[in-house]
Every structure is written in structure tokens, then in C-alpha cells.
Structure 1
Amino acid sequence: MPMLILWLLDRCQPLWRTLGADYGQLRAIVQVKLMMDNRRSTITLGRYGKASAENNSNFTRTLGLYAFIGGLISLAMLAAPDKDRLFFPLTLQFSYIMALCAMTLISDFSSVILDSSDNQIILPRPVSSRTLWLARVVHITSYLFAIALSLSVVAILFVSYRFGALAGLLFLAMSLLSAVLMVFLTNIFYLLLMRFTSEEKLREVINYFQIVMAVLFYGGYQFLPRLIGEQTLNQAFAHQWWHYLVPPMWMAGTVEAVIRPVLDSTHLVFALLAVFTPIAGLWFMNRFLTTDFTQKLSSIDQESQPAQTTQTTFSQRTQSNKANWAERLSTLFTGNTLERAAFAFTWRITGRDRKFKLKTYPQLGFGLAYVVVMSFRGSSFGSTGFFYLFALYFAGLYVMVAQYQLSISDSYRASWIYGSAPIQNPGDVLAGSLKALIVKLMTPFYSLLAIYILYRYGIDKISDVLLAFSNSLVMLLSAALLSVRHMPFSVAQDALKQSNTARSLLTSFVLGIVGFSHYGLTYIPYGTWIALPFSMLACGVLLRQYKQTGWEQIRMG
């Protein structure tokens, strides 16, 4: 792929010179960036890839996955409707392409866009800020073109087969212009963030934006097919004024103008907006935002050093407040000094580690979204009386993802401290870390779930909620006892080579048995209240067993 990008770059030399770039310098910068990409791990909606080798095929596999998912969407949207009713399906198709391009820019390329090392290394040389900025745009846009093409390749084939090659080529052009438009809008998004936030806050905002978007993607995946329905897809739409404000509708209207065919003022405006807005955005970025963006990156890089003097009091105050909370809770839920220290340590790390949050929080959001969506499905499993129990126990699987992540960290090399510190009983460290996870993530998660279930199914389900929570704790402790035990944050992401499929299947099977047993107890008067003390006793026994873990049971990363 890098060779193809460079070949296409060579074919467009006059364009880059017209935009004010030194082509030799631009090509050299892009070539180095493409070479470095093969050594960078990728992120897609919160799931991290492995560190890459020089001949990495990770991006190729990602494109294949995008092509498969895009093909399913294209099959659902474009295979059935006739040409007079394609505007809404085409809008959904382009909305999906734009959303994935924007998410890729914000998640996978945020570190590339906000990387100020280019300024420090290249700008002291005789390289203009415009050449450097265009190199960034070419680098990122080349990948977005590949992503947009993979998402739309099946749709292009469908449209070409049904309505002719011209319609297929136009669909391809609109997909690529969608990628260019997302580059422009994302740059505006970053400039606005950089105007009002510091570097640290900026990365925090991006991190939480990734989490929220991951949850929204899952919720949209569940909600949209039920909201749209076959009748909505097949109805003809009367164009309204607000359609001119929605970019996916520009692209859909342009393609529709060739498919039907029709050429009226509405479709002509759509075509003009679809073609000229991305080009105008690229010109506007090159003309007005190049210097501003480079200066903002430089100022952010400078802020990160003196911020210790300008923002020290505020950051120290907030950190001390968080530390006080962690200390108070650790005193409340732990029994000795070592366990208390592990509790506070895990509490702080899980609040600072962006990768932990990006891998864990979306899973919990998925669980809540799934319960809400399924509970509203009429004449289905979600409307049965058994569903609220299924939701309570199924949610426990999402919490186990967080428990698995407790041993993983990018700073795993610092785990030598465990061996050098006078730790006689590592089980106290493991127990304190697990308690922090239960208090910080599992309890709030189950509280939100319980509030919804009690609101939806009645306050009389309080005993079921308490028993399910206690049983989920039993399952969480059982999974911790059965799995290979690592000290907190002591293992690299790629070091856990063992397959966890068997353990996951066993845990799911046992969780299902426990859930059905709970369902049987609901037919016994006060059965759940009677079972609750026994479940809590099992929690105490398992936790005591976990605390007795010795060094011979610990595997260091």
C-alpha cells in the first residue's frame, strides 16, 4: 500500500506545488510516515491491535473487516429498493461511511494529528509549515481513502450492476469526497478543542469522546433497524430545506440524480454542495488553518512543560481530592495496610490509564445499551418475565472484561517494584486491586442497571437484584481464582498469549446455571431472600481464598 500511495502522490505533483508545498520534502515526509505506520498499533472502537512488524498486515485485515461489514449494510440498504426510493438508503450508506471515517480520525489518528514531534524535528530545517501540514493531510487522507473504498466497494458493485457504471463511478467519487470532508471537519473540531483546553484535557476529551461514540455506535446498531423498518426504507422522500444541511444527503442526492435520472434545482444544489464543499474545505485549511494549526500544536507542546507552574495548584487540588476519596474508600473496604495501598493504587491507575478506560468503559456501556434495547422489544425475549434476570447475569460478563484488563499495562516494565518491595503476601495486593475494581466499576454499573430494572419491572424485584449482584461477585471471584494470576498492571498487552476461550465458555456456562437456579428460586416463597445470605457467605469464602495467594501462584509478566 505505501508504494501505491507514493505512486499516486507522484502523479499529482502539480497539485502540491500549486498548493505551495515543496514536493521533494513532502514526498520524503510522507514516505517516512508510512514507514513508521507499520510499527504502530491500531485502535478501532476501543480495541487495540498488536504492535506491528515491518511487514504488518493488520491494516489490510481491518480493511477486509470494513469491507465485510460495509457489504452487509449495502446488501440491506441498496439491494431491494427501486431507483425512485433510494434516497434514504443512500443517505444511510454515506452516513455510515462518514461516521467510520470520523471515528478513525478521532481514535486511530488522533495521536498522528496532534503529534508535535514533527514541529520539533522538521521545522528547524528549511521546511515550511504548509509543506508539513500538507504531508499530514496526504498521510491521513490516503488511509481514509482506503477505508472509504473498503466500506463502499460492495455498494459500488451493487449500484454499477443495477444502474450502470456511471452511477458506480459517481458513488466512488462521493465516497472519496466524504473522506475529504471528514478531514476538514475533524481539523475544525481539533482546533476548537485546542482553543479551549490544554494538552492533557484535550487528550482526555478525545478519550471520552471515543468511549461515547463506541457506545453510540452499538446503540445505533441496535436501535436503527427497529426504528427504520422495511416501510421506511421503501417510501419516497419529499426533499425539505434542512436536507441541505446534512452532508450525507448531499452525496445521496448526487448519486440519486444519475440513478433516476433527474436534474432539478434540488439535485443540482446537492451536487454542488457535494463536490465543492470538500474542495473548498481543503482550500480553506490550506489557506487559513495551516499556520494556526501548527502554532497551536507548538503552544500545546510548550504548555505541557510550564504547565507545572501555571496549572500546578489546580491539578494538585483535584488530584488531592481524588486521593482523599481513594484513601477513605480504601480504609472502609480493606483490612490491612498492603491491601489498602493496592486499592488506592488501582483506583488511581484505572482513572489515569486511557487504554484501560477505552477498553473497559465501552463494554459497560454496551451492557446497559443492550438491556435497554432488548427490554423494549415487543413479542420477543426482551418482553418475557425472565429477561430481567438474564440482563442482571449477562451484565456480569462485561465486568469480567475489566477484571481481565487489571493485569495489563503499557508501563509493565515498572512491575519490578513488586519483586523488590518487601511483600510477603501478594494475595493482599490482588484482593485490594479487585476490591477497587468492584467499588469503582462494578457497583456503579450494577446500580444503574438495578435502577432501570426496578423502574421497568417493579420495586418487588429488589431481592433478585441483590442476589444477582452477590452471585455475580461469586462468579467474578471464581474467574479470578481459576485464571492465571498476575500482579496488577504487570503484563504487556501482547504477552497474554494463552487462549481464554475455554475459561470464558466455562464461566458463561456456569453463569447460565446460576441464573436458571435463581429463576427457579423465584417460584419459592422468599426463596431469593433465603439464598442471599448463602451467596454472601460464598463471596466471603472465595475472597479469603483469593487473599491467600502466594508467590508460587503468581506468574510475572
Structure 2
Amino acid sequence: MTSLTLWLLDRVKPLFWLLGADYGQLRAIVQVKLIMDNRRSFVSLGRYGKPSAENNSNFTRVLIIYTIIGSLISVSMLAISEHDKLFLPLTLQFSYIMALCAMTLITDFSSVIMDSSDNQIILPRPVDNRTLWLARIVHITTYLFAIALSLSIGGILFLAYEFDAVVGLVFLAMSLLSAVLMVFLTNVFYLILMRFISEEKLREVINYFQIVMAILFYGGYQLLPRLLNSQDMLAQTIVHQWWHYLIPPMWMAGTVDMLIRPILDTTHLIYGTLAVVMPFGGLWFMNRFLTAGFTQKLSRIDRESVPEASATTGQRTQSGQTNWLDVLSSWFTTNPLERAAFTFTWRVTGRDRKFKLKTYPQLGFGFAYVVAMSFQRGSLGSSGFFYLFALYFAGLYVMVAQYQLGISDNYRAAWVYGSTPIRLPGDVLSGSLKALIIKLLLPFYALLSGYILYRYGLDKISDVLLAFSNSLVMLLCTALLSIRFMPFSVAPDTLKQNNTARGLLTSLVLGIVGFSHYGLTILPYGTWIALPFSVALFLVLLQQYKKTTWGSIQMG
């Protein structure tokens, strides 16, 4: 991909001269960035990938998945409508492409857009702001073009076969322009954030925005197909309104629709003009007015790690968070070492952006899936025992957090465990697990249980309590049966082995426990009778977990 990108850049070299960039510097920066990208993993994979030498196949696998999904969506939407009623399916198709490009920019490439680490190398050298900014744009657009192309292959082939090759090529051009437009809108979004949010809070806000976007994207993926009747909705004839000119996917859809029908009127001409002018106009606007401000803002981000006004902040933290955290830890721990591990885990999970980005969306996915399935008629969601399935299925998502508890990019700091007089590491493990249960599992189950009780009735309270206790038992069983690591002591690539086998085993045991719970609901007061036994089993397993010795610990 690096060689192809550089070859294409060489073909459009005069364009960068016209934009005021030093092409030699721009090409060198882009080349280094692409080489470094071969060694990174993509968040959209949902796991860490281990690169092989200089060739990382993670992005290739992502493109293959996008091609399959995009082709299925394109054919399913475009094939069921008449030729003169393809405007809405095309709009949905471009909306999907733009949404996925925007989500990729925010989740996978926010660290690239906001990366200020290369400022220390590049800014002291004679590289102007415009060249540096254009290098970032070219770097990001390279990947977005690949994503847009993979999502569009199905639509391109279908339209080219159904109509002619020109329609397919125009559809491809509109898909690529959609990616360019998303680059412009995302950069404007970041600049607005920079204007109203202090630099030290910017990355934190973006991290939470990533989490919310991931949850909304998955929730929309689950809910949207169930909210519309595809056969009736997609076959409707759209009456164009003035506000349609404000919706970018309609610009692209109108341009393609103009060739399909074919039709040449004022409405479609406006759509075509907006589809071509706005992406390039946005790039010109950024290149002309936003370049200097963006680079200056990025240089200020470096200061976020400087502990200015640390005394005031430290006093506020000591008097605020520490007090209630100490009280909370004293309620749920039994000795000073366990209490220290509880507090340590609570704080790290609140500060580690990668932990939050890989854990919080999973919990949101679980809740969105339960809500979506509960509204689906004629399926598992309409069955009488779905609420039990939801409660136990959610336990799988919670175990993701327990799995992530041992992972950290700063795993080399784990030497501190061996340098301190810790006789039983089980106290550290149990304290960390308790912090995870109180901070993540308890609020998540409270939200899920509230929805279950609201939808299925308050008489399910015993089922909710038993499912929660059984989930704690399963969480401890997973911890006891798995290889045990100290909290945040393992490199990301270390734990990716044997995930499939462990996941299948956990799912099987959860299924057995869930069906056993369903059998108890048939017996009078069966769940209330089983509840104390489940709680007792949890306490026994917790004590066993606390007895973990150094011989059972594997250091990363």
C-alpha cells in the first residue's frame, strides 16, 4: 500500500505545488507515516494484532470485512427498488459510507490527526505549516479512500452491470468524494473542540466521543434494520424538499440518480454541483484558513503532560476523590494491600484511554443488543425467557473488562510488583477484581436490570439478583481457570492467544448456568432458594482467588 500511495502522489505532484506545499518534504513525511502504520493495530478490529516484520495485515483484513459487508448492504438495498426509485437506497448507501468513514476517523485516526509527537522532530526543521498539514491529510485520506472503495465495490459492480460502466465509475467517484468531505468535517469538528475545550481535556473528550460513537454506531446497526420495513420504505418515491440540500449523502445520491434515470433538472444539477464543489471547497478552505491554527493548537497539546498548577489540582484530588475512594475501598476490602490494589485499579481504569476505549463500548454494545432484540417480534426477543438470555449474555461483555485488566501499554512498570514485599499476590488480584466489579459490573447490571424490570415486570427481581450473583461466580471461575497476571502488567500482544477456546468454554458454561436458572423459574420460589447458595459459592471462590501465590502468577 505504501508503494502504491507514493506512486499515486508522484502522478499528482503539481497539485501539491499549487497548494503551496514542498512536495519533497510532504512525500518523505507521508512515507514515514505509512511505514509506521504497518506496525500499529486498528481499533475497529476489536482486538490487538501482532504485526509481522514490516507488514501488518490487520488493515487488509478490515478491508476484506468491509468489502463483504458493504457488498451485501449495497445489493440488498439497490436490488429491491425500481430504477426510478433508487434515490433513497443510494442516500442510505452513501450515508453508510460517510458514517463509517467518520467513525474510522474518530476511532482509529484521532490519534493520527491529534498526534503531536512528531512536532518535536518536524517543527524545528524548515517545514512549513501547510506542508505538515497536507501530509496529515494525504496520510489519512489514503486509508479513507481504501475504506470507501471496499464499501463501494458491491454497489459499483451492481450499477455497472445493471446500467453501464459510467454509472459505476460515478458511484465510485462519489464514494471517494464522500471520504474527502468527511475529512473536512472531522477536522472542523476537532478545531471547534480545540476552541472551546482546554488542551489538557481535549484528548479525554475525544476518547469519550469515540466511546459514544462506537455505541451509537453499533446500536444503529442493530435498531435501524428493525425500525424500517425495507420493502416498503426503500421503494418509496422521494419528494425533494429544500432541506435535502443540507444533507451530504443526498448530494451524492442525486448525482448518481441523475445518470440512472436519466434526468436533468434543477434539483439534480444542484445535487451534482454540491457533490463536486463542497469536498474540494472544504479542502481549499482548510488549506487557506485553518492550517496555521490547527498546527498551533497541536503544538499546545504537548503541554498537557506538564504538571502546571499541580499543587491546586493535587489538593483538589486529595480532598475530593481520595476521600470517597478510601471510604469505598474500606467497605469492600479486608486488608491494606487489597485496599491499595482496589484504589490503584479504580484510578488507572479511569485514566487509561485505551482501557476505556476497549471496555466501555463493549458494555454499550451489550445493552444496545438487549434493547434491539427485545423489540424484535417472532424471534428470541419475543420469547418468554429472553430476559434471562439478556442477563447472562451480558456477562460475556463484562468478562471483556476482566480480560483487559491485565493489559497495559506501560506494562514495563510492572517491575514494581517484584520490588515490593508482597507475600500473597492474591490480595492484589482480588482488590483489582473488586474495583472492576464495583466500578463497571455493578452500574452496568443496574442499568440492564432496570430495563428488564421495566419491560418484563418487577416480579423478575429474584431472577435479576440470581443472574447477577451467577455472573459474579462466572467471572471468578474465568479468573481462576485462566492464566493469572498482575493488573496492567502484560503487553497487549501477549494475551491474544487462546482467546477463541476460552470464549467458547465461557459461552458454554454460561449457557448451562442460564438454562439451569430457567429450570429454577418453573419451581415455586426456586430462584429465591438458589440465591443464597450462589452468593455463598461466590464468597468461597473469592477466598480461593485471594489465596493465589506467586507460583500461579505469570509475569508479562
TM over 0.5: yes
Letter of the 2:42 partner, please give it.
T
The aligned amino acid for 1:347 is W
Question: Helix, strand or coil for the counterpart of 2:177?
Answer: helix
Partner of 1:496, secondary structure, is: helix
Question: Does the 8 Å CA contact 2:407/2:489 hold for their aligned counterparts?
Answer: yes
Q: Provide the residue aligned with 1:516 in structure 2.
A: 515
Q: Does the Cα contact within 8 Å between 2:251 and 2:272 map onto a contact in 1?
A: yes
Kindly provide the amino acid, as one letter, of the partner of residue 421 in structure 2. Answer: P
Unaligned runs of 5+ in 2: none
Matched, 1:11 2:30: no
Tell me which residue corresponds to 1:439.
438
Displacement after TM superposition at 1:174 (Å): 0.4
In 2 relative to 1, CA 329–180 (structure 1 residues): closer, same or farther, beyond 3 Å? same
CA distance in 2 between counterparts of 1:45 and 1:250 reads 31
Distance 1:371 1:278, change over 3 A: same
Which residue does the alignment assign to 1:246? 247
* CA shift for structure 1 position 312: 5.2
Determine helix, strand or coil for the equivalent of 2:308: helix
Residue 198 to residue 311, structure 1, CA distance change in 2 (3 Å): farther
Residue in structure 2 matched with residue 326 of structure 1 by the alignment: 325
Measured in 1, the distance between the counterparts of 2:190 and 2:282 equals 15
Computed over aligned residues only, the root mean square deviation of the Cα atoms, in angstroms, reads 1.6
Residues 209-248 of structure 1 correspond to what in structure 2 (within 5 A)? Answer: 209-229=209-229, 230-248=231-249
Alignment of 1:353-372 (within 5 A): 353-372=352-371
Helix, strand or coil for the counterpart of 1:117? coil
Cα deviation, 1:450-497, whole Å, max 9, x if unaligned, reads 111111111111111111111111111111111111111111111125
2:286 aligned with 1:277, yes or no? no
AA aligned opposite 2:290: L
Q: Which letter does structure 2 place at the counterpart of 1:224?
A: L
Report if aligned partners of 2:326, 2:343 keep a CA contact under 8 Å in 1. yes
SS in 2 for 1:489: coil
Contact conserved, 2:211 with 2:360, CA < 8 A, in 1?
Answer: yes
Residue in structure 2 matched with residue 352 of structure 1 by the alignment: 351
Distance 1:119 1:405, change over 3 A: closer
Write the deviation string for residues 340-389 of structure 1: whole angstroms up to 9, x where unpaired: 11111111111111111111111111111111111112232212221111
Task: Identify the range of structure 1 (237-246 vs 198-207) with the bigger mean alpha-carbon deviation.
Answer: 198-207
Cα distance, 1:320 vs structure 2: 4.9
Contact 2:39–2:55 (8 Å) recurs in 1: no
Partner residue in 2 for 1:550: 549
For 1:28-427, what aligned pairs fall within 5 Å after superposition?
A: 28-44=28-44, 47-51=47-51, 53-229=53-229, 230-302=231-303, 304-305=305-306, 308-310=307-309, 313-314=312-313, 316-318=315-317, 320-427=319-426
> How far did residue 85 of structure 1 move?
1.3
Q: Deviations over 1:385-443 (max 9, x none)?
A: 21111111111111111111111111111111111110111111111111111111111
Deviations 1:277-300 (A, max 9, x none): 011101101111111111111233
Deviation at 1:504, TM superposition (A): 2.2
TM-score with structure 2 length normalisation? 0.97
Distance 1:159 1:224 in 2: 24
Count the aligned residue pairs: 555
Amino acid at match of 2:439: K
Per-residue deviation, residues 162-217 of structure 1 (Å, max 9, x unmatched): 11111101001101111110111011011011112233311111111111111111
Q: Secondary structure at the match of 2:228?
A: helix
Distance in 1, matches of 2:496 and 2:245, equals 51
SS state of the match for residue 99, structure 1?
helix
Q: Is the 8 A contact 1:46 1:214 kept in 2?
A: no
Hey, what's the Cα distance between the residues in 2 that align with 1:45 and 1:212? 17
Tell me if the contact between 2:200 and 2:303 (Cα under 8 Å) persists in the aligned partners: no
- Partners of 1:119 and 1:294 within 8 A in 2: no
Please report how far the alpha carbon of residue 243 of structure 1 lies from its aligned counterpart in structure 2 after TM superposition.
Answer: 1.0
CA displacement at 1:143 relative to structure 2:
1.6
Between the aligned partners of 1:448 and 1:525, the Cα distance in structure 2 is 27
* Deviation, structure 1 residue 261: 0.5
The code of the aligned residue for 1:351 comes to G
Distance in 2 (CA, whole Å) between partners of 1:304 and 1:487 is 27
CA distance in 2, matches of 1:201, 1:163: 51
